[in-house]
């Protein structure tokens, strides 16, 4: 007679613990049929199924092959010991997933079980001698090397056997509960842990143990750092996790996490141990990385900060007194690439040069392109030399920018530049005025109207382009814009003269400005 409850214990890889455990699932129809057949193996028998007949049709036809569901790190370790560095060297009924095999090899390499070529190391051979998952075998061996192998083996036993030691999230409390437990199961688990410790080479009693460091060896990606709020932590792997605030561990700055409970946005810590930052630095120094990051200081200058990282966690940081100047120069270039050349401190000379060349290029494309896009594209040719020794873009001088841009202009064009697009225009009075080549409507000069007396032709720049003259009153207020000064003298000047004479009686307002002498002075008394 067979009594079938319709359930089975099968191995499943548990991402929360990183271990493979037996879990209870519904049997498949194939498994149920096999169990039924056992009742009639030697003589007629009967099978009692403890479920409704209709439920049989809902069972999956066959169990999914174990090799597709379980953690493959132990298989990968065994393959390496047999001399097969790749699963492709063997024939499987169901080939192990390549991604899972690659993940297993990466894990074993990080644990020191495999070398860079994928060959088994001495440490890996010792791990394969222990009847434990690779992570826990590695932890036990590290514990033996530190004289705490028995404690490490008990941690391994607690992680592989559920429901022992109580429900506290503190690993040390769970271990104490396991030792106090007088039940047969607890005694058997402790005896098994002692056998693992002896098999790993532990002799005599344990030295003082650090549970957090042992756990960190097995699960380095689960080293956790507090994020400020009690119970909020960040794992070295980059995932945020939480611990109930009622737990004493919730206020610890560092934890080594053994088990996690799944969550949609973040996981919950189910089992962990304290970690001392100083001990963590000493034990994991070789696995930490140093990064130099640039930041903007209070004065606006870039400065370098060295950050000590363990995965995604910041273990420590300091300002670097003498940072690499090339690193800062490269960062300044990156800032200009990201934000555009508008972040540079363009002064009158450099901005004017860009506008003058842009004006000439509009009529003749042989002139170089000094527009924003072209300057960003060729930033290494003109800006990089200016940034040597600089810690901020503000330190770049206007004259330096102008000189750098002139270096982009061929020599023959530089000789034509001042003649075809002069920086300043000379009025009949002999005074010079800056030409704004970027002004709306074309090159423009702002000038008092009295300085233009006697001028009968309209001034031009470049290939005969008339200047926009912004005519100003003696108070430097706008009177009129014109691109035809002789036409202005003949046309609207009379109306302007009537208005201006009343406002500024001390200044000359001749009826024929084209025949008058230019001036910047007021009228003589009595005239």
What value does the mean pLDDT of the chain take? 89
**Structure confidence at residue 99 as a pLDDT band (50, 70, 90):** confident
Same domain for 163 and 24?
Answer: no
Instruction: Check whether residue 301 and residue 277 sit in a common domain.
Output: no
Residues 401 and 308 in one domain: no
Q: CA–CA separation, 309 vs 313, rounded Å?
A: 6
Residues 167 and 272 in one domain: yes
Q: State which of 334, 367, 396 marks the end of a domain.
A: 334
Query: Do 401 and 493 share a domain, yes or no?
Result: no
Kindly report, residue by residue over 258-270, the tens digit of the pLDDT.
988 765 556 889 9
Kindly report the CATH number assigned to the domain that includes residue 51: 3.40.50.300
Domain count for the chain, please give it.
5
In a domain, residue 386? The reply is yes
The pLDDT confidence band at residue 327, using thresholds 50, 70 and 90, is confident
Question: Tell me: the pLDDT tens digits for 150-167?
Answer: 999 999 999 998 889 998
Residue 98 forms part of a structural domain? no
Same domain? For 269 and 180 the reply is yes
Rounded Cα–Cα distance for residues 342 and 325 (Å): 23
The more confidently predicted of residues 490 and 17 is: 490
Beta carbons within 10 angstroms of residue 258's beta carbon: 27
Query: Per the domain annotation, does 523 fall within a domain?
Result: no
Q: Are residues 362 and 380 in the same domain?
A: yes
State whether 268 and 138 are in the same domain. Answer: yes
Parallel, antiparallel or unpaired: strands 302-310 and 254-261? unpaired
Residues 6+ apart with CB under 8 A from 498: none
List, for residues 166-221, the tens digit of each pLDDT value. 989 999 999 999 999 999 999 999 999 999 999 999 987 888 789 999 999 999 99
pLDDT tens, residue by residue, 342-351 = 999 999 999 9
241-254 pLDDT, tens digit per residue, is 999 888 999 999 99
Q: 414 and 468, same structural domain?
A: no
CA gap 227, 216 in Å, rounded: 19
181 assigned to some structural domain: yes
Whether residues 154 and 260 fall in one domain: yes
Give 3-state DSSP helix, strand, coil % of the chain, rounded to 5.
40, 20, 40
CA atoms within 13 A on the CB side of 20: 18
User: Are 301 and 375 members of one domain?
Assistant: no
- pLDDT of 84 reads 81
- Choose the final residue of a domain: 403, 420, 437: 420
Q: Which domain holds residue 483?
A: 424-515
Whether 159 maps to a domain, the answer reads yes
Residue 22 lies in a domain: yes
The verdict on residue 234 lying in a domain is yes
In a shared domain, residues 312 and 188: no
End position of a domain, from candidates 285, 320, 349: 285
Tell me whether residue 89 is exposed, middle or buried, using C-beta atoms within 10 angstroms of its C-beta: 0 to 12, 13 to 18, 19 or more. Answer: exposed
pTM of the model: 0.61
Name the burial class of residue 322, with classes exposed (0-12), middle (13-18) and buried (19+) by CB atoms within 10 angstroms of its CB.
Answer: exposed
SS3 state at 283: helix
Model confidence band, residue 13 (pLDDT cutoffs 50, 70, 90) = confident
* Separation of alpha carbons 155 and 178, rounded Å: 10
| 91 is a domain residue | no
Give the C-alpha separation, 218 to 316, whole Å. Answer: 23
* 512: number of Cβ within 10 Å: 11
Contact 6, 32 (CB under 8 A): yes
């Amino acid at each position: 007679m067979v009594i079938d409850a319709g359930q089975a214990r099968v191995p499943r890889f548990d991402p929360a613990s990183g271990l493979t455990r037996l879990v209870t699932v519904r049997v498949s129809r194939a498994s149920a049929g096999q169990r039924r057949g056992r009742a009639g193996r030697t003589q007629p028998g009967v099978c009692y199924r403890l479920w409704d007949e209709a439920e049989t049709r809902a069972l999956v036809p066959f169990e999914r092959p174990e090799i597709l569901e379980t953690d493959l790190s132990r298989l990968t370790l065994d393959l390496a010991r047999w001399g097969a560095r790749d699963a492709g060297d063997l024939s499987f009924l169901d080939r192990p997933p390549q991604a899972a095999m690659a993940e297993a090899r990466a894990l074993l390499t990080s644990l020191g079980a495999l070398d860079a070529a994928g060959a088994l190391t001495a440490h890996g051979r010792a791990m394969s001698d222990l009847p434990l998952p690779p992570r826990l075998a590695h932890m036990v061996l590290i514990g033996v090397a530190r004289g705490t192998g028995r404690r490490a083996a008990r941690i391994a036993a607690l992680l592989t056997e559920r429901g022992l030691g109580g429900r506290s999230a503190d690993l040390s409390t769970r271990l104490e509960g396991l030792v106090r437990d007088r039940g047969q199961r607890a005694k058997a688990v402790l005896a098994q842990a002692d056998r693992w410790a002896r098999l790993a080479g532990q002799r005599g009693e344990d030295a003082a143990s650090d549970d957090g460091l042992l756990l960190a060896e097995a699960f380095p990606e689960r080293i956790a750092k507090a994020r400020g709020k009690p119970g909020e932590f960040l794992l070295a792997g980059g995932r945020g996790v939480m611990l109930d605030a009622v737990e004493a561990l919730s206020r610890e700055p560092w934890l080594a996490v053994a088990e996690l409970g799944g969550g949609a946005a973040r996981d919950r810590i189910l089992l962990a141990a304290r970690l001392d930052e100083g001990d963590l630095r000493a034990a994991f120094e070789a696995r930490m990385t140093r990064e130099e990051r640039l930041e903007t200081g209070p004065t606006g200058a870039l400065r370098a900060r060295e950050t000590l990282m363990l995965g995604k966690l910041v273990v420590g940081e300091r300002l670097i007194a003498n940072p690499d100047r090339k690193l800062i120069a490269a960062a300044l270039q990156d800032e200009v690439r990201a934000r555009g050349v508008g972040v540079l401190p363009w002064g009158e000379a450099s901005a004017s040069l860009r506008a003058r060349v842009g004006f000439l290029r509009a009529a003749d494309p042989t002139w170089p392109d000094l527009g924003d896009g072209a300057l960003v594209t060729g930033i290494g040719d003109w800006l990089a030399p200016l940034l040597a020794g600089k810690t901020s873009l503000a330190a770049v001088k206007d004259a330096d920018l102008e000189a750098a841009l002139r270096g982009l202009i061929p020599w023959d064009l530089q000789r034509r530049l001042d003649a075809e697009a002069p920086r300043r225009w000379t009025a009949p009075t002999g005074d010079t005025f800056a030409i704004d080549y970027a002004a709306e409507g074309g090159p423009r000069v702002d000038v008092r109207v009295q300085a233009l007396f006697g001028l009968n032709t309209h001034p031009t720049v470049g290939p005969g382009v008339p200047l926009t003259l912004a005519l100003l009153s003696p108070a430097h207020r706008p009177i009129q814009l014109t691109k035809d000064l002789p036409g202005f003298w003949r046309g609207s000047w009379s109306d302007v003269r009537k208005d201006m004479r009343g406002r500024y009686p001390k200044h000359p307002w001749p009826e024929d400005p084209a025949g008058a002498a230019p001036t910047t002075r007021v009228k003589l008394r009595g005239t």
